[in-house]
Amino acid sequence: MATILIVDDEAGVRASLGGVLRDEGYVVDTADSGEACLDMAVARPYDVVLLDVWLPGIDGIATLSQLRDRQIDAQVVMISGHASIESAVRATKLGAFDFIEKPLSLEKTVLVVRNAIVQRQLEVENRALRARVDRRRTVVGDSQAIGRLREQIAMAAPTNGRVLISGENGTGKELVARQVHALSRRRAGPFVEVNCAALPEELIESELFGHAKGAFTGAVADRRGKFETASSGTLFLDEVADMSLKTQAKVLRVLQEQVVEPVGGQAGIHVDVRIIAATNKSLNEEIRQGRFREDLFFRLNVIPIFVPPLRERGDDVVRLAEHFVTELSREYGRRAKTFAPDALDVIRAYRWPGNVRELRNVIERLMIMVPSDLIQAVDLSFLDVSRPRDDHPAATVEPLSQAREAWERGYVLSALAAFDGNISRTAEALGLERSNLYRKMRGLGIAPSRDRDEADADVGPLRSS
């Protein structure tokens, strides 16, 4: 049942309006001053506050301002017998839901209150949904590997640098991409995902760049591409290594010029997009095999982020398992289950080749199929724990020199991104002479932007080539 607070210094208004709203089924309290309103709103949550502008002591506008300062999120409807455009504008800027004049039309007031309650309910539901989504997008774990991953995300997010996320299938690369977006200056813009592996060759260009009406059979209307849809936000290119060389060339051109040309279109469209790409393949190997363009790799690999496999995250596997139990118990409306010690031993011993995605699927299976509230080792007998957790094939181990160079390149790129490409400030932070940093960048294949280099004595945004 919705609760309403009427704040007016006229006893007659409080009585008549309160009676009408109680007849509508609302719980109604009244106050005769702004000070009383603030005390009551702090002590009890209200859905709607009907607030007179002219009050003894602090007036209605000041009261509204203090309600917002105290983060009281009730919908506030301002009432005034001496309304002015100025006061209405001030109230609106402070977040008032509506502004009604005296003498009050009771019918109109009831309608405004109904609308305010609907808006309040929508906002509460929206906050609950956002909280649920945020929980599902949280990077769970306390291992050193996840600590380093969080540090990389925190460094990369505030910049506008392109990010290349690598890692095995199921490790959570999309989650990392969403975290980078959520912590960036573009968080108010869209986050648009394209799964490059799921789109056939004949459709991916239309999907990325859009198409004009009549460009091909079935193109019955103009269509915006993902680059244009993501403008002012982030475009996530998942499994980027699965793009054809032809599409890679067109993507490279967009990254260089920030202009897309729809399939069959005549004019280019300017876009302002941050690119985050992800792959489960070794792009260096793909380049050696001629399946991925080296120049595109340099464009995408400004800030490299590696997502560790679950087998390298220690006891995070237990924390994740408990996290998924909590999440799925809410989703299914069931009591949360607990793990017996022998079940935890199985979870720790298993290699999890499918990583976090496999773990979540296993927990979902247990939530549905295990009748008891206690999960035991026998319930996990379908997992093969015979293979050791650390039996990595030797072919996946890079030579030390390559690993050192890749780490050093990523470190320098992260430092440059943190200082928006400013060479002098980056060199100072790294404890290097500016000329030494230039030599280091050339050796690592990192080139500064020529435009900024020519326009300024310092160097600006990065340009990989």
Per-residue pLDDT reduced to its tens digit, 207-241: 898 888 777 777 767 788 899 999 899 999 999 99
pLDDT at 262: 85
Q: % helix / strand / coil in the chain, to the nearest 5?
A: 50, 15, 35
- What's the average model confidence in pLDDT over 73-85? 81
Work out the burial of residue 302: count CB atoms within 10 Å of its CB; fewer than 13 is exposed, 13-18 middle, 19 or more buried: buried
Check: CB of residue 19 under 8 Å from CB of residue 25. no
In terms of Cα–Cα distance, which of 255, 310, 309 is closest to 277?
A: 255
User: DSSP string of 35-80?
Assistant: HHHHHHHHHS--SEEEEESS-SSS-HHHHHHHHHHTT---EEEEEE
E strand or H helix that includes residue 257: helix 245-257
**SS3 for 182?**
helix
E strand or H helix that includes residue 14: helix 11-23
Query: In this model, does residue 459 exceed pLDDT 60?
Result: no
pLDDT at 391: 44
d(CA 449, CA 458): 10
Check: CB of residue 465 under 8 Å from CB of residue 455. no
In terms of Cα–Cα distance, which of 303, 163, 184 is closest to 232?
A: 184
Tens-digit pLDDT profile for residues 372-394: 999 999 999 999 887 655 444 44
Confidence band, pLDDT 50/70/90 cuts, at residue 307:
very high
Query: How confident is the prediction for the chain on average, in pLDDT?
Result: 85
Query: In this model, does residue 457 exceed pLDDT 60?
Result: no
pLDDT > 90: percent of the chain: 54
Of 18-27, 131-140, 185-194, 217-226, least confident by mean pLDDT is: 131-140
Maximum pairwise Cα distance, the chain: 85
Confidence band, pLDDT 50/70/90 cuts, at residue 438:
confident
- What's the average model confidence in pLDDT over 194-198? 90
Question: Which phi-psi region, left, alpha or beta, contains residue 314 (left: φ > 0; alpha: ψ -120 to 50)?
Answer: left
Secondary structure, 3-state, 304-329: EEECCCHHHCCCHHHHHHHHHHHHHH
Query: In this model, does residue 133 exceed pLDDT 60?
Result: no
Helices and strands (DSSP H and E) totals, the chain: 19, 18
* Higher pLDDT pick, 268 / 153: 153
Contacts of 431 (CB under 8 A, 6+ apart): none
* Higher pLDDT pick, 124 / 184: 184
* Higher pLDDT pick, 262 / 87: 262
* Higher pLDDT pick, 455 / 95: 95
- Alpha-carbon distances, residue 103 vs 6, 12, 80, 279 (angstroms): 15, 12, 9, 66
**H-type alpha helices, 394-458:** 400-418, 423-430, 434-443, 450-455
Say which DSSP state 463 is in: E
pLDDT at 80: 83
Query: In this model, does residue 183 exceed pLDDT 70?
Result: yes
